[in-house]
């Protein structure tokens, strides 16, 4: 999953460096975001969404590891992108482009021989994490953000 994060984020950052599209909170200084922003974050590039790229890469990689849970993994990956819309950090086309990048990155990762070699250990790690019953504190915040209607 570290590779999925690194690769999806790196591709998104390369694309952002070329596009330099302002974020919604950069276009409208009065618009509130769901997070604290300094001037650099408010002025950083929006297209494509790195969060959507990473969320989708994670979702597709998890889906490849556990096909029986693929629908849930993909739903959560999509919700990551939607939360960035709600939080005024991206436009819909930013999220769509990020998702496309994430799918492409995941396709490369899951097609690599190293993925097949690592998959049994990753599946065991996922099973152990589920058995522990622990959840991320970020999940509650994410659910709250997703309950907010889009502007």
Is a pLDDT exceeding 80 seen at residue 54? yes
φ/ψ of 36, rounded to 5, equals: -75, 135
Of 142 and 111, the structure prediction assigns the larger pLDDT to 111
Tell me the pLDDT band of 28, cut-offs 50, 70 and 90: confident
| SS3 state at 7 | helix
Condensed to tens digits (0 to 9), the pLDDT of residues 113-122 reads 999 999 999 9
Using a pLDDT cut of 70, give the percent of the chain over it: 97
- Indicate the average pLDDT of the chain: 88
Is a pLDDT exceeding 80 seen at residue 25? yes
Structural domains of the chain in order of their starting residue, each with its CATH number? 2-146 (1.20.144.10)
* The pLDDT value given to residue 150: 65
Q: What average pLDDT does the segment 59-74 reach?
A: 96
Q: Where are the alpha helices (DSSP H) in the chain?
A: 2-19, 24-27, 39-42, 50-65, 70-86, 92-111, 113-132, 137-146
Q: Read off the pTM.
A: 0.85
* The pLDDT value given to residue 151: 61
């Amino acid at each position: 999953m570290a590779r999925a994060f690194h690769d999806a984020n790196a591709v998104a950052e390369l694309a952002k460096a070329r596009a330099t599209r302002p974020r919604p909170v950069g276009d409208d200084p009065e618009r509130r975001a769901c997070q604290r922003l300094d001037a650099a974050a408010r002025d950083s590039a929006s297209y494509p969404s790195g969060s959507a790229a990473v969320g989708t890469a994670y979702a597709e990689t998890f889906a490849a590891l556990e096909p029986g849970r693929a629908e849930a993994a993909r739903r959560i990956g999509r919700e990551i992108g939607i939360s960035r819309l709600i939080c005024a950090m991206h436009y819909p086309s930013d999220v769509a482009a990020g998702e496309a990048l994430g799918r492409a990155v995941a396709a490369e990762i899951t097609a690599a021989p190293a993925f097949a070699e690592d998959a049994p250990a990753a599946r065991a790690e996922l099973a152990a994490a589920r058995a522990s019953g622990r959840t991320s504190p970020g999940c509650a915040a994410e659910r709250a953000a997703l309950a907010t209607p889009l502007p």
